[in-house]
Structure 1
Amino acid sequence: MSQMLFRKGARQILPVAAAGIVDGLVFGILARQAGLGVTEAMLFSLLVNAGSSQFAAVGLISQGIVGWPILVSTLLLNARHLLYGLGLGPKFSGTAPWKLSLMAGTLNDETYALKATYLASGEKPSLSFFAGASVVDYVIWNVSTFAGAWFGNVFTQTETYGLDFAFIATFLGFLAVNLISSFHIKVALGAVAVACLGYALGGATVAVIAGTLMAVGIGAVSGER
């Protein structure tokens, strides 16, 4: 049974993870252009495994900004992962902490979107299903990063090929498949409005945090799902 659920998770994450191939390639390319070596770019993806914060960090490095500004900005940008954990954690009460730690280490936007949809459909919580999804997503992301970093000096103008839009397109895909009611549309519009305001006032990091908090706030106050 566990093997079947593992394979099911691996199959269901495949379209999403495959869409992230371009993201991984672009990250590897940008990391090299920022002055990082192949090993350093790979350590980013192997240890951090959070595309948005990796892109943010590379952007700061390319501008000559290092140290605490990177730590603070990526901490704020990844604060949404705490919400992901709070959303999934209660479903696994009684699970060994070390197993939860492994699951948390591979929890990102893509895997959370799949896992939340899986549970919302009425399926029972399954570590095997989540493990299958996480392993496939992790492998594809890191292989893509390696390919991008290895050939990073060949492609110097990512905008020419439209690769700079790949990360945004992936998130738009997540949004599209989850707009299943008028309430979801209202939450999305509210989050967009606040995110735009946050971007105008403080940039991309503030936009992500403000938009996330707005969406969570609307859900908490309304009590709808």
Structure 2
Amino acid sequence: MNSARTLFVTGMIQIIPVAAAGIVDGLVFGILARQAGLGIAEALLFSLLVNAGSSQFAAVGLISQGIVGWPILVSAALLNARHLLYGLSLGPHFRGTPPWKLSLMAAGLNDETYALTSTYLASGQKPSLSFFAGASAVDYLIWNASTLAGAWFGAVFTETEAYGLDFAFVATFLGFLAINLLSPFHVKVAAGAAAVACLAYWGGGGTAAVIAGTLTAVVMGAVIRER
């Protein structure tokens, strides 16, 4: 029978290939946060406290356009709504776990830790909070270390236009979009959200475009059945 310490170390080791893929994202986020006007400490606190890549990118994108307050909260909530599904998926495996432990687990639940944990459970392994904790700790460390490195780079190299980083926001989100267009259904959702966002921008500016486009994508994804 595996001890808690052994499972913790196993989780630490197995998350490395998954979390390492986010190093570039962390670097880019740190650079974009600096480009949006955040300090190094603010960029790092962003990752330390939020720990959710997609919503962090959305937030600094809005901040760079001078949009603050409720639009950031709404977009972050919508982008992270998938975490509810992650929790519902893993929840049955952790019945009987004290609520305070589940709260700590929820804080470390993201795309990477969910993917690893669900694969671990699918292989026939028993649910282990120690395994999840080890994976979460390393994933958290890698994300924040790469954010700090990117923020430092962004502080040293302030002439972002000379390196093409003035286009980094657009390129980053186009990249996120491209790797998620996996079926004709995804293309339809993207096209529908883009069309609504353009109309909203024409009528109400950047804030309206972000909220309307995000809501459209969420509603289409929830209502329309993929074929």
What is the rounded CA distance, in whole Å, between the counterparts of 2:133 and 2:174 in structure 1?
A: 26
1:120 Cα deviation after fit: 2.2
1:146 equivalent in structure 2: 148
1:194 matches 2:189: yes
Write out per-residue CA displacement over residues 86-124 of structure 1, whole angstroms, 9 at most, x where no aligned residue.
111121110011111111001111111111222222222
1:213, CA displacement in angstroms? 2.9
Among 94, 97, 105, the alignment partner of 1:95 is 97
Verify: 1:24 aligned to 2:33, yes or no. Answer: no
1:12-51 per-position Cα deviation (integer Å, ceiling 9, x unaligned): 1101111111111110100001000111111110010000
CA contact (8 A) 1:20 1:167 kept: no
Where does the alignment leave 5 or more consecutive residues of structure 2 unmatched?
A: 198-209
1:62 is matched with 64
Distance 1:126 1:81, change over 3 A: same
* Contact 2:44-2:147 within 8 A present in 1 as well: yes
Q: In structure 1, what is the Cα distance between the partners aligned to 2:16 and 2:177?
A: 16
> Distance in 1 between the 2:177 and 2:119 partners?
15
What one-letter code is carried by the residue in structure 2 that aligns with 1:8? T
Residue 122 of structure 1 aligns with which residue?
A: 124
Query: In the alignment, which residue of structure 2 is the partner of 1:182?
Result: none
TM-superposed CA distance for 1:58, in Å, is 0.0
User: Residue 209 of structure 1 aligns to which amino acid in structure 2?
Assistant: V
Distance 2:137 2:77 in 1: 24
- Identity within the alignment, %: 64
5+ long unaligned stretches in structure 1: 176-184
Letter in 1 for 2:130: S
**Deviation larger for 150-159 or 6-15:** 150-159
The aligned length equals 207
Q: 2:16 aligns with which of 14, 17, 33?
A: 14
In the TM superposition, what whole-angstrom CA distance separates every residue of 1:34-92 from its partner, at most 9, and x where no partner exists? 00011111111001000000000000000000111111111111111111111111211
Q: CA deviation at 1:193?
A: 3.4
Question: For the aligned residues, what is the CA RMSD?
Answer: 3.0
Name the aligned partner's letter for residue 28 of structure 2: V
Query: Residues 199 and 112 of structure 1: is their aligned pair in 2 closer, same or farther, counting only changes over 3 Å?
Result: farther
User: What's 1:106 paired with?
Assistant: 108
Please tell me the residue identity of whatever aligns with 1:213: A
Tell me if the contact between 1:13 and 1:136 (Cα under 8 Å) persists in the aligned partners: yes
Indicate the residue corresponding to 1:209 in structure 2: 218
Please tell me whether residue 44 in structure 1 is matched to residue 53 in structure 2.
no
Task: Identify the residue that residue 84 of structure 1 maps to in structure 2.
Answer: 86
Relative to the length of structure 1, the TM-score reads 0.79
Which one-letter code corresponds to 1:200 in the other structure? A
d(CA) in 2 for partners of 1:111, 1:212: 23
Instruction: Find the counterpart in structure 1 of residue 6 from structure 2.
Output: 4
Larger radius of gyration between Structure 1 and Structure 2: 2
Question: How far apart, CA to CA, are the structure 2 residues paired with 1:69 and 1:58?
Answer: 12
